[in-house]
Chains A and B, each alone.
Chain A
Amino acid sequence: MIKISNVIKTYGEKRALDSLSLDIKEGSIFGLLGVNGAGKSTLLSILNGLVEIDHGDIEVFGFDINYHIKEIKKISSIIPQSLAFYENLSVKENLDFFASIQKADKTALNTAIEINSLGELLDQRASTLSGGQKRRLNIAIGLLNNPKVIYFDEPTVGVDPKSRNEILDSIKSYKDLGITVVYTSHYMAEIERICDEVAIINDGKLVEQDTLENLLSNKVSDKISIEIIYSESVDALGLNMSDPSTIQTKENDLFEIVNTLNNNKIAIKNIRYGSSNLEKHFLDITEVDNA
């Protein structure tokens, strides 16, 4: 369990984290959402002991970050967005190096190779790997210390769809190994696909934290999504369309819009509160927060 309470971190005059509190359940895949500069990277740096907090408390699996950072580093691992390994070393040399400095055992090394399908690439120079293979090596290095919690900082940036699927599947498998995953990404579909719980932070503050299911059905505003079967006649109606088959409206206007659609013989598939997906919800909620 990771417990973050009233954490404040300031850089100069800018408050990167502003009394942020979060609870992350052990064994869960936890999504961390926020626009650029929201404070995600600062939080990950703090959780990995790279940056100190100005105020507040953080407890990682029972260890207080202010007093037991060494213990926390031993059970944590960060997968940075950039490819943090040596391009001029082979895959095996990279894994051996990072395993040696962490005194990792052979089982951990083999597990990292297996989960990330690197067995056939061991002798290959890292610089010659494809984008997806490099990402997998980047992730494998993070598994070498048998971590209890792994922090992923947008690990699929610049990765082709096939490799992205493989990476997401491998991350889901960490849950079966009992590893807690904290995942940040700009791809909301990825968060929807793998995360159990999501926190949205904006300007260093927690905006919302809930299970994915609750977030998507949450009536955070009076916004309503009407899904229709697309017809050309809808274009002439001047409605607020988020995509060709979804109309965004408010509760007050619902009756009138349904009538208009009926009169124009446009079939309605579904009417729901809130946003139809996480991306819409994220945009709604950050919009409300910034208003």
Chain B
Amino acid sequence: MLKAMIKKEFILVLRDKHALLALFVLPAIFILIMSVAMREQFSKDTLEFSLYVEDLDKTQISKDIISSIKKDKSFDITPSKDGASFVITIPKSYSDDTEKKINILVADSIKSDQIEIFKSILSQHILDIRFESIANSLEELSSDAAESISSLDTSSENLYTLKYNESKSIPNSTQQSVPAWIVFGMFFIIIPMSTIYVNERKQNTLSRLNSMDISLLSMMMSKSIPYVMINQVQVWIMLAVGVFLVPLFDTPALEINGSVLALVILSLALSVAAIGVSTVIAVSASSTEQATTIGGIINILLGAIGGVMVPKFTMPDAMQKFAEISPMSWGLDGFLDIFLKGAGIGTIIGDIMLLFIFGIVLLIISMIVLQTRINRGL
């Protein structure tokens, strides 16, 4: 029985050309356009920070750091503190005392995303010089150890990123666009789901099924399973777009650093959440027009809040906190952790659990709403 119902649902969705367009073509186009369009925006090369450097240490290390910073096109070194976006001060005895830290003074006008990017670039310079210094010191004691540190230094780009990721990471345009539009696209199932649901209810097919002793749970499951599968196909097609298609447009390809299993489980959890939202709208709406309009608005709102339209790291702190209410944000955070930090299930288990619980609660609410409507003669 369940097999027949799932088959029916599949045929209906696959014959709905508009739904297929919304589920597969639209997100793919979004990924492509947004990745290419935002490429420059996300590229560090195009960013320029006005910077004043104050050296109280006046040692070889501090001089090397300043020299390294001056060579970086991202920084525009200003002759005075006035008008500089950032003032960095290398404290006295910085070279000798590893506990001492460089102080960064940020101008009021600087947004949090710019600070993050600045910190990311600066830390790279500092780490480079620090490693070089350690290697030089070690050379006197052990040339092997020095060589080892030196090689670590030259090949330590991943190490820097990894260290920085422990606080916060900035994705490139592809890393931001692919998961964002995957999440958004998955929630687009509201369109076919609500169309089929409302039509079934209005044409009394649902009550006919009910009179045939088909339980609500079976109905819900038969409707949910095909969309879980469709969502999974969506995820892998969109990932393929990020990995293979986006680089053809001179834009960074998507790199999946984390666990594939985590990716699969996160996608399933997102699917449950998307089905929950779609079902609750589909069973509550009285017409397909109403369902698709409300569904579309909710989708856009969740996307806007959750960092799909505007990357979360560019939002003010208060807004970033507010973004946490959107299930799209949970999904997006999970994907970014996998892509940027190479996260496994353990790291993103919180996001996964939130999505599962959110989806299941909405499905239970949907069942109650539907049962009430059936009792009232739909």
Contact in complex: B211, A86 (CB < 8 Å): no
Given A84-B205, A85-B205, A101-B1, A50:B210 Cβ within 8 A? yes
Contact in complex: A100, B4 (CB < 8 Å): yes
Chain B residue numbers with a CB within 8 Å of A102 are 212
Closest beta carbon of chain B to A77's beta carbon, Å: 8
Q: Number of B residues whose C-beta is below 8 Å from A?
A: 27
Considering only residues 2-48 of chain B, those with a C-beta below 8 Å from chain A are: 3-5, 7-8, 11-12, 15-16
Which single member of A51, A74, A81, A82 contacts B213 (CB below 8 Å)? A74
Chain B residue nearest in CB terms to A103:
B1
Chain B residue numbers with a CB within 8 Å of A225 are none
Given A73-B213, A88-B12, A145-B212, A83:B4 Cβ within 8 A? no
Contact in complex: B208, A86 (CB < 8 Å): no
Segment among A41-49, A108-116, A272-280 that sits at the interface with chain B:
A41-49
Closest beta carbon of chain A to B373's beta carbon, Å: 11
Chain B residue numbers with a CB within 8 Å of A50 are 207, 210-211, 374, 377
Contact in complex: B4, A101 (CB < 8 Å): yes
In the assembled complex, the Cα of A65 lies from the Cα of B148 at a distance in Å of 84
Contact in complex: A78, B8 (CB < 8 Å): no
Which single member of B1, B8, B208 contacts A80 (CB below 8 Å)? B208
Chain A residue numbers with a CB within 8 Å of B377 are 41-42, 45, 50-51
In the assembled complex, the Cα of A11 lies from the Cα of B375 at a distance in Å of 10
Q: Is A61 an interface residue (CB 8 A)?
A: no
Chain A residue numbers with a CB within 8 Å of B212 are 73, 98, 101-102, 145
Chain B residue numbers with a CB within 8 Å of A84 are 203-205, 207-208
Chain B residue nearest in CB terms to A70:
B213
Q: Is A76 an interface residue (CB 8 A)?
A: yes
Closest beta carbon of chain A to B8's beta carbon, Å: 5
A-B CB pair tally, cutoff 8 Å:
73
Q: Is B221 an interface residue (CB 8 A)?
A: no
Task: Produce 1/0 per residue, A120-160, CB < 8 A to B.
Answer: 00000000000000000000010001000000000000000
Chain A residue numbers with a CB within 8 Å of B211 are 48-50, 73, 76-78
Contact in complex: A89, B209 (CB < 8 Å): no
In the assembled complex, the Cα of A84 lies from the Cα of B204 at a distance in Å of 5
Contact in complex: B204, A86 (CB < 8 Å): no
Q: Is B107 an interface residue (CB 8 A)?
A: no
In the assembled complex, the Cα of A98 lies from the Cα of B209 at a distance in Å of 8
Chain A residue numbers with a CB within 8 Å of B374 are 50
Chain B residue numbers with a CB within 8 Å of A103 are 1
Given A50-B210, A88-B16, A93:B203 Cβ within 8 A? no
In the assembled complex, the Cα of A9 lies from the Cα of B374 at a distance in Å of 15
Q: Is B202 an interface residue (CB 8 A)?
A: yes
Chain A residue numbers with a CB within 8 Å of B12 are 86, 88-89
Contact in complex: A83, B375 (CB < 8 Å): no
Chain B residue numbers with a CB within 8 Å of A96 are 4
Q: Is B214 an interface residue (CB 8 A)?
A: yes
Closest beta carbon of chain A to B156's beta carbon, Å: 58
Closest beta carbon of chain B to A124's beta carbon, Å: 14
Chain B residue numbers with a CB within 8 Å of A83 are 203
In the assembled complex, the Cα of A50 lies from the Cα of B375 at a distance in Å of 7
Chain A residue numbers with a CB within 8 Å of B207 are 45, 50, 80, 84
Chain A residue numbers with a CB within 8 Å of B204 are 80-82, 84
Contact in complex: B203, A101 (CB < 8 Å): no
In the assembled complex, the Cα of A170 lies from the Cα of B148 at a distance in Å of 91
Task: Produce 1/0 per residue, B209-245, CB < 8 A to A.
Answer: 1111110000000000000000000000000000000
Which single member of A76, A88, A98, A100 contacts B11 (CB below 8 Å)? A88
Closest beta carbon of chain B to A69's beta carbon, Å: 8
Chain B residue nearest in CB terms to A45:
B377
Contact in complex: B214, A93 (CB < 8 Å): no
Chain B residue nearest in CB terms to A101:
B1
Chain B residue nearest in CB terms to A44:
B211
Contact in complex: A89, B208 (CB < 8 Å): no
Chain A residue numbers with a CB within 8 Å of B202 are 82
Chain B residue numbers with a CB within 8 Å of A87 are 199
Chain A residue numbers with a CB within 8 Å of B8 are 86, 89, 93, 97
In the assembled complex, the Cα of A14 lies from the Cα of B2 at a distance in Å of 38
In the assembled complex, the Cα of A98 lies from the Cα of B214 at a distance in Å of 11
In the assembled complex, the Cα of A64 lies from the Cα of B371 at a distance in Å of 23
In the assembled complex, the Cα of A96 lies from the Cα of B7 at a distance in Å of 11
Closest beta carbon of chain B to A190's beta carbon, Å: 21
Considering only residues 168-193 of chain B, those with a C-beta below 8 Å from chain A are: none
In the assembled complex, the Cα of A17 lies from the Cα of B305 at a distance in Å of 50
Closest beta carbon of chain A to B256's beta carbon, Å: 37
Considering only residues 364-378 of chain B, those with a C-beta below 8 Å from chain A are: 374-377
In the assembled complex, the Cα of A275 lies from the Cα of B33 at a distance in Å of 76
Q: Could you tell me which A residues sit within 8 Å of B by CB distance? A: 11, 41-42, 45, 48-52, 70, 73-74, 76-78, 80-89, 93, 96-98, 100-103, 141, 145
- 30 A-B contacts, Cβ less than 8 Å apart? A48-B211, A49-B210, A49-B213, A50-B207, A50-B210, A50-B211, A50-B377, A51-B377, A52-B375, A73-B213, A78-B211, A80-B207, A81-B204, A84-B204, A84-B208, A85-B203, A85-B205, A86-B8, A86-B12, A86-B205, A88-B12, A88-B16, A89-B8, A89-B11, A97-B4, A101-B4, A101-B212, A101-B214, A102-B212, A141-B208
Contacts A78-B208, A86-B205, A89-B12 aside, 15 further interface pairs with beta carbons under 8 A come to A11-B376, A49-B213, A50-B374, A51-B377, A77-B211, A82-B203, A84-B205, A84-B207, A85-B205, A98-B212, A100-B1, A100-B3, A100-B4, A101-B1, A145-B212
